Structure 1
Amino acid sequence: MFIGTRHAYFTPEEYLNIERISPVKHEYLQGQLVAMAGASKAHVIITGNLSALLVNHLRGTGCISYAVDMKVRLPALNLFYYSDLAVTCDQRDRASNEDFILHPKLIVEVLSDSTEAFDRGDKFSDYKTITEFEEYILIHQKQILVEQFQRKSNNLWVPQIYRAGDTIEFTSINFVCAIETLYENIEQLS
């Protein structure tokens, strides 16, 4: 089966098989494959910086941080999304040999012009259906700015904004760092 052929619908299993061999990553939206754009240098640096910090922070906690290439599956909605970074502390995700997770407690997206509206809107709305999901982080790459959304109840998500000079705190995993650490090695931010 080739991605170039026209198919009205791919099953989740067909999608996973295609994704394992495809040089281009795709998200899965109810049977349709949507190709993902490449990332900017700033996007890659921010994701790498945060990933390095979280791997060290989570060591020995039973939680695992997945960066870039791990899919989050939402079976009830028939979706697979790639988050920029996700943390799961659920043993079911650790025990599974699948190339996706089902129970993230923290999800991070680094915003780009082409994905910002989707990351803020439909994607966040879909992620909210995950029972274990507690915290959503949006990191801007053109300025030092991080937006945090914390679940306080099923329908209440409390926002918090962090700017230059602030200390960020991801409460779902007890992580704290200076916001500038995320932007280390990026030149000319406004």
Structure 2
Amino acid sequence: MVPPARCQTRMRVEDFRAWVEHRPGDGRWELIDGTPVPQSPQTSRHQRIVANICCRLDALGERRDGHALPGLGVLSAAMEDHAPIPDVVVTCGPLGADGYTSDPVLLAEVLSPSTQQTDLGAKTRFYRTVPSLRVFLMVHQETARVEVWRRGDAGWSMRGVGPDDTVDLPELDGTLAVSEIYARAGIV
């Protein structure tokens, strides 16, 4: 994996967006803790899991004028030095034209060995600052396990689910079976 680009000072989202606009078109970048970080191509297993999640969540979201999209950047006014790109983002209402959203209702990250520490650390902290976000999923890639992070009246809580479980998604008036997430991904 390519190391993060080095900056003398922490980059803010506004500067990052201008910077990334002038990057070559063959790579994607996200901003984590004020540092631009390149995204590597994903394995076929990772992509299969993302496709499964995206298809199921898009079907659920359609009933609420929602869209499940891969590769949409997420912004939060609470953290001006982050612009991560989760694997799947669900938004409701009109789509923005710039590839970013600040009002996701649900998102999913498929954990990779090279990014797992960032996904479970800096990105999890960031996602918890997005006011519109109700739930996010941290999806393990090597085993059928999903961490379901949900915002409730008392704050955020996390619950792990396994291969025989179903994730309730009242935000989309539906459910997502863990078996659907891993269908055809070669995980038992």
TM-score by shorter chain over 0.5: yes
**Corresponding residue to 1:51 among 38, 49, 54:** 54
**Corresponding residue to 1:73 among 50, 54, 75:** 75
1:171 aligned partner = 170
Relative to structure 1, the CA distance from residue 15 to residue 66 in structure 2 (aligned partners, 3 Å threshold; closer, same or farther) is farther
Displacement of 1:8 in angstroms is 4.2
Relative to structure 1, the CA distance from residue 75 to residue 23 in structure 2 (aligned partners, 3 Å threshold; closer, same or farther) is farther
Q: TM-score, normalised by structure 1?
A: 0.83
Displacement of 1:7 in angstroms is 6.1
1:26/1:35 contact within 8 Å kept: yes
Q: TM-score, normalised by structure 2?
A: 0.84
Q: Deviations over 1:85-112 (max 9, x none)?
A: 11112x4xx2532221111111110111
1:15/1:33 contact within 8 Å kept: no
1:149/1:160 contact within 8 Å kept: yes
Larger RCO (CA within 8 A; separation ≥ 6): 2
In 2: Cα distance, 1:60 partner to 1:177 partner: 15
SS at match of 2:164: coil
Of the structure 1 ranges 103-112 and 32-41, higher mean CA displacement relative to structure 2 is found in 32-41
Q: Deviations over 1:98-139 (max 9, x none)?
A: 221111111110111111121111111111111111111111
Of the structure 1 ranges 21-30 and 138-147, higher mean CA displacement relative to structure 2 is found in 21-30
SS at match of 1:82: coil
| Aligned length in residues | 179
1:180 aligned partner = 179
1:99 aligned partner = 99
SS at match of 1:77: coil
2:113 aligned partner = 113
SS at match of 1:125: helix
In 1: Cα distance, 2:131 partner to 2:177 partner: 29
- Alignment RMSD, CA only? 2.3
* Structure 2: segments with no counterpart, 5+ residues: none
1:138 aligned partner = 138
Of the structure 1 ranges 162-171 and 36-45, higher mean CA displacement relative to structure 2 is found in 162-171
Counterpart AA for 2:31? Y
Counterpart AA for 2:72? M
**Corresponding residue to 1:18 among 22, 31, 36:** 22
* Structure 1: segments with no counterpart, 5+ residues: none
